[in-house]
Structure 1
């Protein structure tokens, strides 16, 4: 997250951020120039996929099947902190779309947990 995908620390550049919801998502989904299709898929799907396990493992680890809203309340501050760290350390940017995509990943994992019929969790 901080050093992957060829990221390097760039103290000579200003901190970058996007506070407009879906701006980056629409940019990657547009047919115009810009990043390659592979780069777009890595950014969009990667931001979702990396958080799918959290949506499954947190309820299993805590022994409580949280609601999607409670998962959001738990994860949004954590994801936002990671985004802020990327911006402040200048190894990436703060992007509200990344928070939304990561949360979609958490909810996808939670949905898969429910899809597999796990409605009640017992701690080991």
Structure 2
């Protein structure tokens, strides 16, 4: 395949939301059409390079072709994508509301007289008091999780669930939304890195604003939830592609 044509086709198929096999099949099909066009221009007396450029120009603009193929692969893709963006926006708001905004609002209303999320040491000297940071930071993995589980008689059940299973479920949707909305998150390492960064920033903000404690367990459990969401959407996608192939094979036969 000519390099110019290959680059042109890659830009088209890389925009498609389908598996790699389907992308290769679509690229091969378009390559056949482009070669026919190229040969027609060569027969008219154009050079090889001119024939390629004219064939690409007459074939069409990449974005329009990609949209047409995506529409044929998934007729309701545009509606699905817009709906997914709306759900992602709602999820992001709920996440930030529960972890930051509502806590910040409560602190603004109550001041330091009542703060269930942050512990103040004796003779507290303000936000730069190292004793406050030590008291509200846990950097030993799973220490607090084991404390919740082993000391279940000391904590209410809702507190145990929120700080263990809740932290997993909270970031599970993130692992679902990222691969759907952003093509660069089709690989697990990208999703894991983003989950760690987002969770870390939230933990740091909670500590800095005195509306929560920095807990390494939260970061770990959030990331586990995001990974579960990633594998969940990948599994659903594989099942959907398999069903689509079976229908296609039945139609052919």
- Residue in structure 2 matching 1:81, options 201, 213, 237: 201
The aligned residue for residue 57 of structure 1 is 177
TM-score (norm 2): 0.42
**Which deviates more, 32-41 or 13-22?**
32-41
The more displaced of 12-21 and 41-50 is 12-21
Query: Residue 30 and residue 114 in structure 1: after superposition, are their counterparts in 2 closer, same or farther (change >3 A)?
Result: same
- Mapped to 1, the partners of 2:202 and 2:230 lie a distance apart of 21
Matched residue count: 118
Gaps of at least 5 residues in structure 1 are 120-124
Query: Counterparts of 2:161 and 2:152 in 1: how far apart (Å)?
Result: 15
Q: How far apart are residue 87 of structure 1 and its match?
A: 0.5
Provide the C-alpha distance between the structure 2 equivalents of 1:49 and 1:86, rounded to a whole number of angstroms: 19
TM-score scaled by length of structure 1: 0.81
Deviations 1:55-114 (A, max 9, x none): 010110113453322211222122101100001111110000000010011011111112
1:5-24 equivalences in 2 (<5 Å): 8=107, 10=112, 13=120, 14-15=132-133, 16-24=136-144
2:237 pairs with one of 117, 120, 123? 117
Q: Which has the higher helix share?
A: 2
**Residues 59/35 of structure 1: CA separation in 2 closer, same or farther (3 Å cut):** same
RMSD: 2.4
Report if aligned partners of 2:185, 2:191 keep a CA contact under 8 Å in 1: no
Helix, strand or coil at the partner of 1:20: coil
Return the index of the structure with the highest Cα Rg. Answer: 2
Separation of aligned partners in 1, 2:119 and 2:173: 35
CA distance in 1 between partners of 2:119 and 2:150 (Å)? 30
Structure 1 residues 19 and 60: CA distance shift in structure 2, 3 A: same
- Structure 1 stretch 25-34 or stretch 74-83: which is displaced more? 25-34
Q: Deviations over 1:37-69 (max 9, x none)?
A: 221012211111111111010110113453322
> Which residue of structure 2 lines up, in the alignment, with residue 122 of structure 1?
none
Verify: 1:67 aligned to 2:187, yes or no. Answer: yes
SS of 2:179's partner is helix
2:218 aligns with 98
Stretches of 4+ aligned residues off by more than 3 angstroms: 7-12
Higher RCO, 1 vs 2 (CA within 8 Å, ≥6 residues apart): 1
